[in-house]
């Protein structure tokens, strides 16, 4: 589904119906701080368009992904994450996805373990 979903939390954040601490926005993408941060820097990057998860991406979304990854790189630079950081997207309940609007987590500012839980 690609239209705004009135029941989708992140569509409501895109629409400004729910406030968020935005760190970046343009015509395709918005980025805001996670309400329950798991690291000193925890930013979510989302397309404005409602895509439930990464399985909903198609070949035509290449430019969108380029935008999302480039914006996350710039935010990581601005946050001084010179030692590295993690970018992750959860796909479906088994992966821990709780909001079904595609988003990439940017986590940094502490050392990370692998594998994730
Ligand atoms: P998921 O578990 O789906 O990969 O990630 C969803 C993320 O959204 C979680 O890290 C959660 O803390 C965050 N989140 C949930 N509700 C809100 C909200 O209302 N505002 C913000 N900024 N983040 C939220
Ligand atoms: Zn949505």
Indicate the pLDDT class of residue 4, thresholds 50, 70 and 90.
Answer: confident
pLDDT of residue 27: 98
3-class DSSP assignment, residue 70? helix
Backbone angles phi and psi of 104, in degrees to 5: -110, 125
Prediction pTM value = 0.97
What is the distance in A from the centroid of ligand 2 to the CA of 54?
13
pLDDT of residue 1: 44
DSSP 10: H
Could you tell me the two tokens for 87?
A: 């970018």
**What are the helix and strand counts (H, E) for the chain?**
2, 5
pLDDT of residue 2: 55
Please list every protein residue whose CB sits less than 6 Å from any atom of ligand 1.
Answer: 9, 18, 20, 32, 34-36, 90, 96-99
What is the distance in A from the centroid of ligand 1 to the CA of 21?
12
Per-residue pLDDT of 21-73, as tens digits, reads 999 999 999 999 999 999 999 999 999 999 999 999 999 999 999 999 999 99
């Amino acid at each position: 589904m690609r239209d705004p979903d009135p029941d989708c939390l992140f569509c409501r954040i895109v629409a400004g119906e729910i406030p968020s601490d935005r760190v970046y926005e343009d015509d395709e993408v918005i980025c805001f701080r996670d309400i329950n941060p798991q690291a000193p820097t925890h930013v979510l990057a989302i397309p404005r368009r409602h895509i439930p998860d990464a399985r909903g991406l198609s070949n035509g979304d290449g430019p969108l992904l380029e935008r999302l990854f480039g914006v996350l790189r710039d935010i990581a630079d601005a946050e001084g994450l010179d030692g590295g950081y993690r970018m992750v997207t959860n796909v479906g309940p088994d992966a821990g996805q709780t909001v079904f609007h595609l988003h990439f987590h940017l986590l940094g500012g502490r050392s990370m373990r692998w594998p994730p839980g």
